[in-house]
Structure 1
Amino acid sequence: MRSNAKARADEWVDHVIRIRDAQDQAAFAELFRHFAPRVKAFLMRSGADASLAEECAQEVMVTLWHKAHMFDPGRASVATWVFTIARNKKIDALRKQKRPEPEDLPWGPEAEPDQEDLLTLQQETSALGQALAELPEKQRNLVERAYFGDLSHSEIAAETGLPLGTIKSRIRLALDRLRHSMK
């Protein structure tokens, strides 16, 4: 069993060397078929969602293709090298999203909010609801689609048939009114 694993590890080293020396697409395809699904599963087990894991796995394999010359079989196995790249890609992606790493997250229950803060939040929510209700219907409709429906201005334009400039103007006016109402 151990000799099979060693032979397989040597085969992966040979594949990386073929990619490095000859841009061997067949060797890359074999590495991709073997490692891409394992990298994705590894990333998902470490807390990444499926789309982030898929994106990182693709980037890992692209990195393997472009940086095969940096692989040193004396320092690590191909698997160790690939999974180290995967870990680094995940960290980079999370930093771009400004999401904390799981080990940086606080553990345990969150503290109960202060009653005064809770009352203030309820009052502000009520005031915002009232200010929204007082907006002209055309403006309120667009604000609700943009902020509660999570649609882009272009998506709203496609849905309503209104020109993009009209949508932007109405939303800007509505937000101005809300800002003044909330002072």
Structure 2
Amino acid sequence: MVAGTEKTTDAPWVAEMRRIRDDRDRAAFAALFGHFAPRVKAFLVKSGAEPSVAEDCAQDVMVTVWRKAHLFDPSRASVATWVFTIARNRRIDLLRRDRRPEPEDLTWGPSHEPDQSEVVEMNQETERLGAAIASLPEKQRVLIEKAFYGDLSHREIADITGLPLGTIKSRIRLALDRLRHAMR
């Protein structure tokens, strides 16, 4: 590859990503999907996934691209690198899931409905957890909410907040310790 050509060939995809990020532009996403989804599927099949699993995973990857477009940074990676990194991570998740052992005794049929005391207990625990989260120092509470309610990784939180990754990890660890003690 000639030096600088990646930036040139990536420029249209960067523009599409910006339109997705800034305007939630469906046409831009359709173009990105049309180009990358078949390539992601082929990548997954070559890495050992069944074609039907690769198809589902490729669609999931593209949904992630749509949902997390705000995290794309063209100064850090090309669009293709970013998309295929998501695909690689999703493939690793699938492999981990497939390696989990199945429980020996699966119960079939409808599960029992919780009785009223179980419902009350779950509601009380939910309220206690909400109060414990609300009582966290703001710097910790905000990060816990981003990590668990926003479903963001520590790296994504660091990118969004501009805080060092170590600070993010420390604050979340301290917050989880406080929550553990509060829920005892």
TM-score after normalising by structure 2: 0.51
- Whole-Å Cα distance in 1 between the matches of residues 6 and 61 of structure 2? 23
* Letter in structure 2 aligned against 1:71: F
5+ unaligned residues in a row in structure 1: which ranges? 100-152, 155-183
- 1:48-80 CA distances to partner (integer Å, 9 max, x unpaired)? 110111111001100000000000111100000
- 1:29-58 CA distances to partner (integer Å, 9 max, x unpaired)? 000000000000011111111011111100
* Letter in structure 1 aligned against 2:83: V
* Letter in structure 2 aligned against 1:43: L
Show the counterpart of 1:88.
Answer: 89
Show the counterpart of 2:159.
Answer: none
* Letter in structure 2 aligned against 1:83: F
**% identical aligned pairs:** 63
Q: State yes or no: 1:72 paired with 2:73.
A: yes
- Whole-Å Cα distance in 2 between the matches of residues 94 and 65 of structure 1? 23
User: Residue 73 of structure 1 aligns to a residue in which SS?
Assistant: coil
Show the counterpart of 1:54.
Answer: 55
Q: Give the CA deviation at 1:17.
A: 0.7
Show the counterpart of 2:139.
Answer: none
5+ unaligned residues in a row in structure 2: which ranges? 101-107, 110-184
- Whole-Å Cα distance in 2 between the matches of residues 62 and 35 of structure 1? 12
- Whole-Å Cα distance in 2 between the matches of residues 41 and 12 of structure 1? 19
- Whole-Å Cα distance in 2 between the matches of residues 33 and 5 of structure 1? 20
Show the counterpart of 2:98.
Answer: 97
For these two proteins, the number of residue pairs brought into alignment is 102
Of structures 1 and 2, the larger Rg is shown by 1
Q: Give the CA deviation at 1:7.
A: 3.3
Q: State yes or no: 1:42 paired with 2:48.
A: no
- Whole-Å Cα distance in 1 between the matches of residues 94 and 59 of structure 2? 12
- Whole-Å Cα distance in 1 between the matches of residues 7 and 76 of structure 2? 15
Show the counterpart of 1:135.
Answer: none
Deviates more, 1:6-15 or 1:71-80: 6-15
- 1:105-149 CA distances to partner (integer Å, 9 max, x unpaired)? xxxxxxxxxxxxxxxxxxxxxxxxxxxxxxxxxxxxxxxxxxxxx
Q: Give the CA deviation at 1:4.
A: 6.9
Q: Give the CA deviation at 1:8.
A: 3.0
- Whole-Å Cα distance in 1 between the matches of residues 21 and 7 of structure 2? 21
Show the counterpart of 1:116.
Answer: none
* Letter in structure 1 aligned against 2:93: D
Give the 5 Å matches for 1:16-165: 16-98=17-99
- Whole-Å Cα distance in 1 between the matches of residues 6 and 99 of structure 2? 39
- Whole-Å Cα distance in 1 between the matches of residues 74 and 7 of structure 2? 13
